[in-house]
Amino acid sequence: MKINFSELEKEIQTILNTPQYNDHPASRALRQLWEVNQEQWNRMDRLTRLSDSYQDMMMRREKSLSERFDKHLRQLEKITRISDRYQRNLRQLNLELERTSLIDPLTELPNRRFIMKRLSYAVEHRDDALSEGLVVAMIDIDYFKKVNDQFGHQVGDDVLVSLGKLMNDIIHHYGSLGRWGGEEFLVILPQHSQEKAIALMEKVRDGVASYHLSIDHKSVSTSISVGISCFRAEDSMDTLLSRADDALYLAKSKGRNCLIVGS
């Protein structure tokens, strides 16, 4: 049978509040049970309120921790984005610095350091079994100082840039052209015989001789001297370059605008 506790409570209160039952032994026992029961209910009520308070505190704590975690996560994501952007910028800067260290800023040709690296590679990886070997050519722009003195250094720079492009357009299919320094350039021709190298460099010399740069309605023209050196089995890079430099000096001493093969 299901007990209706609300009705039972009312009946007990009625008995306890009726004076005629006050002296009945069962009434005293019932009153004590009632007081014990009320104390139990009060205790349960306090525990319930304490539990609710604790749960509310834990929920607020959990919410606070979650909010702080989300905040830290957003900060970490922001730091990660900044770090990624910094790393990309750093890589780009390193690439730019590497390029700057290897490329001549005026002519945008390989600089002396870069062309020496290419020459070192060509020497180390040459194939002596091939009938055509390694050839280098040293180029000097004739009377370049006169161009600077007559037209100024800006025009001199324009001449270097224009001739560098002209020569590179002819050479780059066959080898490498780099700025050696000042008005001098170095050409590396792998797998070239002496005859092929001479023919190519004569083409370059003719191209420069027929080129005219227009400055303030004035035509600026010049020529080049070329010294060629063919690699020999006993050569080092220094001897190979020295022979090309000696040949260039000889070409300049013979009136310039000519090509000499080093012996």
Instruction: Round to whole Å and give the CA distance between 113 and 191.
Output: 22
Residue 22 lies in a domain: yes
Mean pLDDT of 253-263: 94
pLDDT of residue 151: 87
What angle is formed at CA 87 by the lines to CA 81 and CA 92, rounded to 5 degrees?
130
Whether 96 is a known active-site residue: answer no
The CATH number linked to 177 is 3.30.70.270
Average confidence score pLDDT of the chain: 84
**pLDDT tens figures, 178-209:** 999 999 999 999 989 999 999 999 999 999 99
Q: Are residues 151 and 215 in the same domain?
A: yes
Mean pLDDT of 17-44: 70
From 11, 98, 132, 183, the catalytic residue = 183
* DSSP H or E segment with residue 11: helix 5-16
Banded pLDDT at 25 (limits 50, 70, 90): low
Q: Are residues 180 and 245 in the same domain?
A: yes
- Indicate the angle between helix axes 112-124 and 25-102, nearest 10 degrees: 80
Mean pLDDT of 14-40: 69
| Residue 2 backbone zone (phi > 0: left; psi -120 to 50: alpha; other: beta) | beta
Q: Are residues 169 and 236 in the same domain?
A: yes
pLDDT of residue 157: 93
How many structural domains does the chain have? Answer: 2
Residue 192 lies in a domain: yes
**pLDDT tens figures, 83-101:** 677 577 657 655 565 666 7
pLDDT cut 70: percent of the chain above it: 80
Q: Is the pLDDT of residue 118 over 80?
A: yes
pLDDT of residue 22: 65
Instruction: Round to whole Å and give the CA distance between 32 and 246.
Output: 127
C-beta separation of 188 from 170 below 8 A: no
C-beta separation of 207 from 167 below 8 A: yes
Cβ-in-10-Å burial (0-12, 13-18, 19+) of 200 comes to buried
Q: Are residues 121 and 50 in the same domain?
A: no
Q: Are residues 129 and 249 in the same domain?
A: yes
Residue 73 lies in a domain: no
Domain that holds residue 44: 5-66
Mean pLDDT of 209-234: 89
What angle is formed at CA 128 by the lines to CA 122 and CA 129, rounded to 5 degrees?
130
C-beta separation of 257 from 201 below 8 A: no
Residue 126 lies in a domain: yes
Tokens (6 digits) for 10:
């009312």
